Amino acid sequence: MPDQVLVHSRLSKKLLARIRERFTLLDTYGAPPLEAFSAAELSTVRALITAGGQPLGADVMDTMPALGAIVCYGTGYDGVDLAAARARNIKVGNSPAANAAAVADLAIALLLAVERRLLAADRYVRSGGWASSAPSPAMSAPRGLTGAKVGVFGMGEIGRKIAARAAALEMQVCYHSRSRHDVPFDYFAELADLAAWCDILIVAVRAGPDTHHVIDAAMLQRLGSGGTLINIARGSVVDQAALLAALSERTIAAAGLDVFEIEPHKPDALSALPNVVLTPHIGGHTASAHQRMQDCVIANLTAFFAGEPLVYPVV
């Protein structure tokens, strides 16, 4: 069937409903394709939908000899072996900026939760501590956001929206990225200098070999004992073992994490720390963001099956 599309990642039926109205979906529910379908069934698959962070290498591509398009549900495509796709003449597309606003919102939500100690405050009320005037170190006055120095690592669509939101909250904003951008924020040519300058470092950079573990023990040391790390990008950008040590030893003050080196994240030593707020990779998980991501997926698939260039190609 020419409009058959393999769903390579674990995505809910609800999220795929609009796409399913237009295409015949073969859903692996996250299993390797050859475990979910026979070689004969895979031999006619021409297009594939995947979550950009899920590994998708040459071995998977070779199970589908007719594969011509890999469409990422979301902005990321770091899991896709682009060289292998290029060698097989497979087009790769994504959903650029479709969830940027939602991810930026969560970055600020994590910042607020950490800086204003919202989880501790919630527990204080629920436990009766407030009613009984019980002393609580967690309820000591935080530094506040007005005038705080925010460093944004990565100035793509998500980074720009984070920076705009932080500026609207009267925080000072500077950034580092591979190149300078036409934005109303000061630029640091070196990430280490940005980390040393800021109170709050927000990771919004695209994952890749050049950013793997770039936030390491030395970078956290530069952020300092009053510093906060927020990561809404990819877990691979941060050395999680180094982050655990930095939080435990108070090398930095706190962290807010939506992404982890291994997902889903299981309860561990990091989860037990009181100075970290954790969310389950929900940055882009809003109804409006999913609507826009579905629009991009449908546009890319429609163009591909019509023999036209992808509307949103990964360049």
Question: Furthest-apart CA pair in the chain: how many Å?
Answer: 69
Residue among 160, 206, 281, 290 flagged as catalytic? 281
Residue among 234, 265, 290, 292 flagged as catalytic? 234
- On whether the CB atoms of residues 238 and 231 are closer than 8 A, the answer is yes
Give the whole-angstrom CA distance, residue 56 versus residue 54: 6
3-state secondary structure at position 125:
helix
- As given in the structure block, the two tokens for residue 90 are 């497979």
Residue among 10, 86, 143, 263 flagged as catalytic? 263
Helix (H) or strand (E) holding 60: helix 58-61
Give the whole-angstrom CA distance, residue 169 versus residue 184: 15
Closest CA to 72 of 97, 48, 100, 55: 48
- Angle, helices 287-305 vs 100-115, to 10°: value is 150
Give the whole-angstrom CA distance, residue 106 versus residue 220: 22
Residue 234 annotated in active site? yes
- On whether the CB atoms of residues 114 and 254 are closer than 8 A, the answer is yes
- Angle, helices 118-126 vs 100-115, to 10°: value is 60
- As given in the structure block, the two tokens for residue 142 are 């935080």
CA dihedral 73, 61, 233, 179 (to 10 degrees): -110
Residue in the structure block whose two tokens are 């031999």: 43
Which positions are catalytic?
234, 263, 281
